[in-house]
């Protein structure tokens, strides 16, 4: 039986390609943190991943936490709170006053652990504002939440 060394290099190339496809790409990493800004928790940075769920519901405010569908929210970078008008100002400038309905891409999770480098006050704030499930809504970093228009009445 004669063996051929010609098949080894192509086989090695295939193995290298397969292993390379399974390895994390240097740009496919998450580099983000959460900060407290008044009654909001804001996500800063970049994430290579995004959740597939829809975060939607009525914007609420109890004097310490802004919620959507009675869950505290981690808002995308650029979101601010207008105390005077009691409104979330979304990154594109759209205003979502308390009582309005918003929706955006994201998901739900437990607040602990927060991403590395997050403010120390993030987890206690989210836990204090979370309902019985303990879940918080997390809007995707690159998402553009929208205010859902009220149906004609």
27-78 pLDDT, tens per residue?
A: 334 577 999 999 999 999 865 555 667 999 999 999 999 999 999 999 999 9
Scanning the structure block, which residue is given the tokens 């979101």?
A: 79
The H or E element containing residue 122 is helix 122-129
Which among 108, 115, 150 has a CA at the least distance from the CA of 133? 108
What does the block give as tokens for 126?
């989210």
110-140 pLDDT, tens per residue?
A: 999 999 999 999 999 999 999 888 999 999 8
């Amino acid at each position: 039986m004669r063996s051929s060394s010609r098949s080894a290099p192509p086989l090695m190339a295939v193995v290298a390609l397969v292993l390379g496809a399974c390895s994390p790409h240097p740009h496919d990493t998450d580099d983000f943190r959460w900060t407290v800004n008044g009654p909001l928790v804001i996500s800063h940075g970049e994430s290579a991943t995004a959740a597939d769920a829809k975060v939607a519901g009525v914007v609420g405010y109890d004097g310490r936490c802004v919620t959507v569908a009675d869950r505290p929210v981690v808002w995308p970078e650029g979101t601010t709170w207008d105390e005077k008008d009691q409104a979330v100002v979304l990154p594109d400038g759209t205003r979502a006053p308390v009582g309005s309905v918003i929706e955006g891409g994201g998901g739900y999770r437990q607040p602990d652990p927060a991403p590395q480098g997050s403010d120390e006050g993030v987890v206690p704030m989210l836990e204090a504002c979370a309902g019985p499930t303990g879940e918080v809504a997390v809007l995707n970093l690159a998402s553009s939440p929208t205010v859902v228009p009220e149906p004609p009445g």
